[in-house]
Amino acid sequence: MPVEVLHGSLDERILRYLLDVYPVTTAQIARDLHVAPSRINRQLKALALRGVIELEELPDKTYVRLLRHDFSFFGYKESQRKRFKRSGGRPKGKSDVEGPMFG
């Protein structure tokens, strides 16, 4: 059964990066994704608990190894989340009344 990951989330960004780049350290992931290292470490620990990745800790670096390759990304794409541009204001319709005092 594939691992379901929300499209546009940090988990998706990390997993897509890991699919492209190997071997990689946690510092490289944080630098290349422009995310704080503490936030990356928190997400990586959560992915390790789910059994998706394995963290190999060395004395000076922590390497990340992808254990699974069956991912299902679901949700809206970035282009689908944009708001529609609408013309503002009320609809202009004809009124039967003329003048401010209906006269």
Q: How does pLDDT run across 58-98, given as a tens digit for each residue? A: 999 999 999 888 877 787 665 655 666 666 666 666 666 66
In a domain, 12, yes or no: yes
- The amino acid present at 102, given as its one-letter code, is F
In a domain, 63, yes or no: yes
CATH code for the domain of 21: 1.10.10.10
CA gap 10, 27 in Å, rounded: 15
Which contiguous run of DSSP H or E holds residue 57?
Answer: strand 53-57
Q: Tens of pLDDT along 28-67?
A: 999 999 999 999 999 999 999 999 999 999 999 999 999 8
Q: Structural domain of residue 52, as residue ranges? A: 3-70
Q: The pTM is what?
A: 0.68
Q: Residue 22: what pLDDT? A: 85
In a domain, 90, yes or no: no
For residue 17, what pLDDT band results from cuts at 50, 70 and 90?
A: very high
In a domain, 15, yes or no: yes
For the segment 15-30, the average pLDDT, to the nearest whole number, is: 91
72: nearest Cα among 7, 1, 4? 4
| Number of domains, the chain | 1
Q: Residue 41: what pLDDT? A: 94
